[in-house]
Chains A and B, each alone.
Chain A
Amino acid sequence: MVMSESPIQYDVEIKTDDLKTMLQACYQCSSCTSVCPVRRYSKFNPRKIIHKYLYDYGVSEDDLTSCLTCGLCLEVCPHQIDFPEFIRLKREQQGVNEDLFAHHNIFNIMQVFMNEITDSGMKFEYEGKLNPESSVAYFPGCIDLYDKFLDLKETSFHEIGQSAINVMNKIGVNPNLLSLKCCGHDAYWTGDMDAYEQVREFNTQVIKDSGISTLVVSCAECYYSFMDLYNLEGVDIQHISHFVEENKDKLDFNAEATTLTYHDPCRLGRFMNEYESPRKVLEATGASIKEISLNKQFSKCCGVSAWLKCDDVSRSIMLRKLEDATRAVGEEGTLTVACSKCYAHLNCVLEDKKPQHDFKIKVKELGMIVDERSSPK
């Protein structure tokens, strides 16, 4: 039998570009789609997005903004296709519609405001012993702004910074409280490179001028940005968990034993490969950790990234996280997070004005737990 020629004449000419080259190795196995937390609650489909992009259908605005850039797909992809990076580059090319940001885009507006109008770092007011000459610095991140713009009555963000400073004081370190702009993580991940470059330049300059050798941060995103995106040679960047782990001998942990569970933030876990330090710190405080079923590199994201798009899908992801945590540690337990953003989103859903849940679990930040459970030696 002779195979006839196909009656259909395909007339396609696909041009390549750098982004396509990045995605070329994808063989459409759909592992990414099967783990994606957004996919759990919507039709969002990374495999299909790649397919469509390779065949010149572009990326829709909805797809572009739905991805949490959490990196879970990259973790399972047999060909290490960096899908989040693809999304980031695409956002840079295409721009992101302002209206899709949560809270009327206030946090990005703030960042641009700092760049274009005040051109200064954020001025914080914290109690405790501070020393502008110290070689160890602390930067709380933009949490003080969350207190002002998120309408959360029972959640204090200031406390994250205050606890970290308390802990440092207990260890015997009086940090230099740096007045930086936002770290620029959100601008970077939503493709606003102008704003990002400006904050990076400013912050790098301030850090260099301050002459510090160690910079301690509370937020996983700050840690990732300073470590990975900035070029801060000669300055040792530490997440609060690293700092406490290093100095845990200088603290007394006498609080009664308790059980906690821990959520791996994507920026600290998958991005920076730091899974052990926070756990060791929690254990050092005398807490035993009951793990969430999907943890470490397979931890699901908290639900919102870079303040982009907080919708019913995000809410579902958060509720699921709380459910998983409750299952691990029990109704009245505590979920520890090591990122100010996770702390914000998860507490926000807990404080829902018209709650669609009856979770009683508490969400606390790592530094807060260490502060609560330690005393100076």
Chain B
Amino acid sequence: MTQVETKPQIENFEPTILVFACNWCSYAGADLAGVSRLKYPSNVRIVRVMCSGRVDPAFVMKAFLKGADGVMVAGCHPGDCHYLEGNLRAKERIDKMVEAMQVLGFKVERFRLEWISASEGKRFAQIMTEFTEKIRSLGPLKP
């Protein structure tokens, strides 16, 4: 059941991707992408949170356990957080989570932290497409 063994059956694999997006920037960015009719993969499921600082490492780990193949946390650019330093705290906490994932021997490529502002609709779509492809190439997390 290791991650390596699952690789072959990638054909037609549609990854499930969970994105925690902060209400003020990244979610608005996603909105903009939608309004501008930009295409991004339908594998992406967005959970809106008030601030990226709301996302506890436990949410991310649990998302993986519940079947996500990739997880992303998206917030405002540093300095732009509407709660001043929510995103900086998120980063601090999440960096530690990534270290913990390494202690557990987990492939951290499946997780990403991104800063996406409300005006970056195009970038949002790009990042989502790229991340989805990346996860698709990694294969399913659980067979």
Chain A interfacial positions (CB closer than 8 Å to B): 103-106, 109-110, 112-114, 116-124, 144-145, 147-149, 151
Contacts and interface: CB of A to CB of B under 8 A. Distances in A.
Contact of A149 (B96, B102, B104): B96
Contacts of B2: 119-120
Q: Is the interface of A mostly helix, strand, loop or mixed?
A: helix
B58 A109 contact: yes
Contacts, number: 65
Nearest to A150: B96
A144 B103 contact: yes
Contact of A122 (B59, B64, B65, B104): B104
Contact of A118 (B57, B58, B97, B104): B104
- For chain B, which range describes its interface: under 10, 10 to 19, 20 to 34, or 35 or more residues? 20 to 34
A46 B88 CA distance: 45
B142 A117 contact: yes
Interface of B: 1-3, 56-59, 61-62, 64-65, 93, 96-97, 99-100, 102-106, 141-142
Contacts of A117: 64-65, 106, 141-142
Contacts of B105: 118, 120-123
B104 A106 contact: no
Given A116-B142, A148-B99, A106 B106 contact: no
A112 B64 CA distance: 11
Nearest to A108: B58
Contacts of A114: 104
B100 to A, nearest CB: 4
Question: Top 8 nearest A-B pairs by Cβ distance?
Answer: A104-B58, A148-B100, A148-B96, A106-B58, A120-B105, A118-B105, A104-B56, A109-B61
Given A112-B65, A117-B65, A148-B97, A105 B58 contact: yes
B137 to A, nearest CB: 18
Given A117-B106, A149-B97, 18 more contacts: A104-B56, A104-B57, A106-B56, A106-B61, A109-B58, A110-B100, A110-B104, A113-B61, A113-B104, A113-B106, A116-B142, A117-B141, A118-B105, A123-B105, A148-B97, A148-B99, A148-B100, A149-B96
